[in-house]
Structure 1
Amino acid sequence: MTNKTSLQKSLGIGLTLGVTLLWLLGVTASGLVAQHEMNEVFDSALEETAQRILPLAVTDILNRENGARNQRAPALKDHDEYLTYLVRDRQGNLLLQSHDADPRVFGPLPQEGFSNTSTHRIYGASAVSETIYLEVAEPLAHRREAALEAGLALLMPLTFLIPVSLLGIWWIVRLSLRKVVDFQQSIESRGAGDLSPVAGDQLPREFEPIALAVNRLLERLHRALETERSFTANSAHELRTPLATALAKIQRLKTRIQSDQLKADIADIEESLRSLSVLSGKLLELAKAEGGGAISQSRHDLVPILAMIVSDFESQAPGRITLTLPESEVTSFLDPDAFAILVRNLIENAIKHGSREQPVEVSMAADGTLRVRNGGNLIPPDQLALLRNRFARSKTHATGSGLGLAIADAIATGAGMTMHLRSPATGRQDGFEAELNVACI
């Protein structure tokens, strides 16, 4: 599980959230401004209504017959009143009221100007030397309802704009990063052995240094590998040729000498030269295995290579090897030469250190799993863990340099594979087994 996410996803979500937040802030500010303006309009309407009604109310009150007190203004038809009014004298006596007015909404004594109660906004005006007061009341709930409807009207478009913005931002970000994604895919799709420069000409300016650095790294790596391979090839020629020449001279000298003692000494020298030749060959194989040349640029069928190598060993150890091959091809990016070196070392190790009474089992499955098993004594876990090291050997009387498994492990590691070493072998009570999957590259 990883916490990493893509740049496209981060930009898309971040920009959408940012735009949405700005819109919400804008709607909030617009709603507050609209509410302030609506309050001014409502206050103006209250004041205008009072100024219109007051002369009519004064005329009606002054033209009444003596003793007439409170009267209720008739309604032409039933309707809900947002504005209600009372007409009172200075002492608060009720003279006139609208048909739906509730006197409890107003204060005990009339007053001029604007005032608020917990439920209403009230405006009062006076006439006839401040003896008659008119007060008009408007429910605050009406104002809140109007502000809420205005806010909802501003918010409603966001339900459509946010998804549209998300799609638009995602499309723009994806279009802008298309070259970056192509650059990423070109690196991921190439084989591990492809060290050619990566095309970065069409990348955005911010990513050009990355492409330049990658190409420089690939160039340095390519030069290092070529130098390593050149050194390995030259060393093989410079070491093997003199050793072969010295071995040939020793063998000719051996045929000319009659003394048994000198022949025995020369035989020891001959064996030492053979061991040195084998050791130099193993060291060169190890250098090649650790030089990074285990991966090729194309896939190869490894089944015929394995069959050929086992056939070569049959001439050296007749009847010692049993081979099991799949009916289908097993292709891999593993370099054929590196695969041949790996298999040769595993089989050679099994023949040298395995029991001579039991065959060496070499098998490859259709999924690419390669197994080399041999009989023999069990290897303790502490020694088994050290067999991958150079010159490490288990307790055995067989000759060897202790480099075979180190070479095989170096090739497997360089190709990104894992080589499993087991003792006892799978399905047995003894023996040794090496297993790896060559098709997992």
Structure 2
Amino acid sequence: MTLNSLRGRLRWMIVAMLLIVWVPLAVYSFSHTSAELEEMSDGRLAQAAHTISALVQRVGIQGLIGNERLLASVQKKKVIQAAGDVPTWESEVGFQVFDPHGKLVLGSANLLALPPSPMDRSSYQDLRKAHHIWRVYTYVDTSNDLVIRVAERYDTRLEIINTLWLEHGLPFLLGLPVLALLIGWSVARGLRPLVALASALSSREPGSREPITLEKAPQELQPVLTALNAQLARQEDALERERRFSADVAHELRTPLASIMLNLESALATDDVSEVHDSLAGAHHSVGTLARRIEQLLALAKLEAGAASSQLATVDLMEVAGEVIEELTPVIAGSGVELGFPPSNKPVLVQGYDAALAAMLRNLLENALRHVPAGGQVQLAIEQHQHETTLEVIDDGPGIPPERRDAVFRRFHREASSRGEGYGLGLSIVQRAAGMHNASIELLDSPFGKGLRVRVAIPLGA
């Protein structure tokens, strides 16, 4: 497990935090326990001194001295000498009783060589004898007119402290590796949702719009899932816009390119200078139309992506309609269809996007011209009402049955009655442009008795 692994980092960070907390606590506990033990041991020495004092007061010092059984009990732990007169074992506690003149009247043999203590006050001292340090309590017994000294070797206390330290520290030292393994297992189990998330992402089909869901996802992972699903949705929307833009380019540029090719072929097919000039002028006009169409497509793509919302402006639909009809003049002339649009000097103003409204109107007219047979008619009507502006394109073509009208807005859908090489994108572009203006689209029956009536209603507050 390396530190580049989130699991490893969490495991070692938890272990490190435990050590950072436990080690100071252990040191504090050890020092506090040692101080408590010292205090308790000093209290035990004082208690022993007072016990001897009470015994002396009850029996009398002469009675104690004459008690052979007691003296034998005290002397039983006498020092055993070894080679070189170095003691190998001795009693770890002892006592001494002095008269007011400092004469030893009673005591244990292991304290005979202990240095003297102050005889005028009760106090604790640390005195060295041979290889050991003794903790000595001197008690001045004024009631019996005696001085009692009780001592205990420090190694006795150290043995107790070491035993406590071993008993408390050894389980921690032995349990730390086990704890590290358990922490690693717990972290791995806690990170299972991340493994499940990675698996869900790796198995996700390209282009899928299904949100990523995890069964029993932890609360901390919910914001990540929400943000991730939102990001994936935005990416899919961006890819879909790219795909639509590519298809729209092919659809929107087909008409001006066809006009350019037609004019160039006419110029190549004749030797008449005036006809060549007219054909080249038409080709030049179509090139300008193509350039404007490309600019409009780019603007429409930016608008759809929400990157140019500041371009919202007041647009005159009558002016837009005039420009679109002028652009489609070659198409209208070649279709043999009569286009009716009553001229008006009164502007019809809406709040919207010029490029989107032009694309919507152009595709409505092209769609009608493509379906109406030669000799038919198409009418364009733009009217402003109290709460909305309506735009209607009416034709006397074969129309669309009511049960199929919802399907025509799908991309790449083409009706069997369509003429020419369409791509089935016209009404899809119309629907998107209408959506930018909160406009509604209705496909109705034509008042001509046959054909289709497309009605777009743009709210004045769009």
- After TM superposition, the score normalised by the length of structure 2 is 0.47
Higher relative contact order (CA 8 A, sep 6+): 1
- Decide which structure has the larger Cα Rg and report it: 2
TM-score normalised by length of structure 1 = 0.49
